[in-house]
Amino acid sequence: MSDPSAILMPKLGLTMTEGVLASWLVKPGEQVREGQTIFVVETEKISTEVPANAAGVIVELLVGEGETVPVGATVARWTSAGAGLPPTTGRGAVPAATDTAQIPHSQSGAHAPSPAAGERVLATPLARRIARTHGVDLRTLTGTGPRGRIKAADVEATIVASAAKGPESLAQGDAGAAQSGRVGPGRSRPLSGFQKTMARRLTEAKQTIPHFYVLATADITDLLELRRRLNEDSAAPKVSVTHFILIAVGRALRDDPGFAAVWVDDGVLELGTTDVGLAVDTPRGLLAPVVRDVGSRSLNGLATEAESVIERARSGALLPDDFHGGAITVSNVGMHGAAFLVPIINPGQSAILGVGAASRVFRPDKQGAPRLREELGLVLSCDHRVTNGVSAARFLNRIVAALQNPLGLLRGSS
């Protein structure tokens, strides 16, 4: 065996900077085999099991469950033939950077006493953010993390208990509790670590991304008739309105490659792809896996691939690589009857297209006679750091034109 080496928080995506260590599946002193899951990481996009890349023995765990950990930070130490290497995370994983600073830890999981007045409170960033939102005084809490660090779960448990007793029980956080809406009778609905992370990341996205919106309607009367005729062929894949929208977005990205860009710390990153995210409602919540090379696919090929992605999302079979890339996502709520959707941009992307239900309206034909048409409501949410209103309107017009001339979507991508 080699000397103890670091197990690091892996980087599971281009824009990932931190992850929640949701649960440990090993204990200090435990012998692990190659491929055995060591811990589970939850990001805003997916819950990922992190396996050992070699056999070894766990020496110590440095991070408590529920803590938010930066990419590349040491989460545990072990003795292993693969010393010095972070665990692998399957297809598409991105190697993490070498850790240069250890996270404070203790050998026992005993609860530490609350800090004295004037003493710095040890708490995770997520715990501090939740405490500020709900007006909880961290100095009144006892942490259950390493060295008595207060975790998000500690704050949430206090909020739930205080809500059951009444708003006065928050002591110095009375005003914050009232403003948060936790003042009436009711039943607390527990959230999974994944749901909590999603809520936090979408809140940050709405607060930090300068959203603006462009709206349009598309006449899809001809598209619906074409779809009906295509689906009469029992030997071909069934196509949906969503498939037409996806391929229209992919072709728009092909014709306007500058729109496939995202904001990064040092400016705008042009991706140069026609990858498109697809919002999927699953038992675990809303996921947005990416469909690859949409702009170069045929309609039948796109329909087959999209349905495969949806099936994997709903069965929990997605991999980290399924979420990498893409500057834009399509979110269709039309099947639920909503006329319009004004969506929030997914973290790490720069745009999202909200699709509503088709509505029947009378429009004048060339002779001025009323004709019944089917129109689709579209809302394009954009990051103003990456694009502007003129570019967004031009991009949305490309999508509308493609949907209103659906025969063009049956032709090749060239």
Is residue 147 within 8 A of residue 105, CB to CB? The reply is yes
Catalytic (active site) residue 384: yes
Is residue 73 within 8 A of residue 16, CB to CB? The reply is no
Residues 187 and 222 in one domain: no
Residues 76 and 22 in one domain: yes
The DSSP call for residue 163 is H
Is residue 192, in this structure, part of any structural domain at all? Answer: yes
Residues 176 and 267 in one domain: no
Could you list the residue range(s) of the whole structural domain that residue 156 is in?
125-196
Residues 190 and 217 in one domain: no
Q: pLDDT below 70 — which residues of the chain?
A: 1-4, 14-15, 44-47, 81-120, 125-126, 129, 133, 146-147, 160-185, 192-194, 412-414
Is residue 319, in this structure, part of any structural domain at all? Answer: yes
Closest residue by Cα to residue 149 from 68, 248, 258: 68
Residues 164 and 238 in one domain: no
Is residue 85, in this structure, part of any structural domain at all? Answer: no
Is residue 106, in this structure, part of any structural domain at all? Answer: no
Is residue 203, in this structure, part of any structural domain at all? Answer: no
The DSSP call for residue 196 is H
Is residue 242, in this structure, part of any structural domain at all? Answer: yes
Residue 283 is predicted with a pLDDT of 80
Residue 127 is predicted with a pLDDT of 72
Residue 1 is predicted with a pLDDT of 38
Is residue 119, in this structure, part of any structural domain at all? Answer: no
| Dist CA 182 CA 169 (whole Å) | 12
Structure token pair of residue 344:
């929030």
DSSP per residue, 89-113: -STT-BPPPPP-SPPP--SS-PPPP
The DSSP call for residue 298 is -
- Residue 381 sits in a domain of what CATH number? 3.30.559.10
Is residue 100, in this structure, part of any structural domain at all? Answer: no
Distance of CA 140 to CAs 18, 66, 187, 274, 301, Å? 27, 20, 24, 51, 58
Q: How many domains are there within the chain?
A: 3
Q: Which of 105, 111, 324, 384 is catalytic?
A: 384
Residue 233 is predicted with a pLDDT of 93
Residues 328 and 181 in one domain: no
pLDDT tens digits for 245-303? 999 999 999 999 999 999 988 789 999 999 999 999 988 788 899 999 999 999 999 99
Residues 187 and 317 in one domain: no
Residues 181 and 218 in one domain: no
Pairing of strands 276-278, 328-332: parallel
Closest residue by Cα to residue 249 from 376, 352, 373: 352
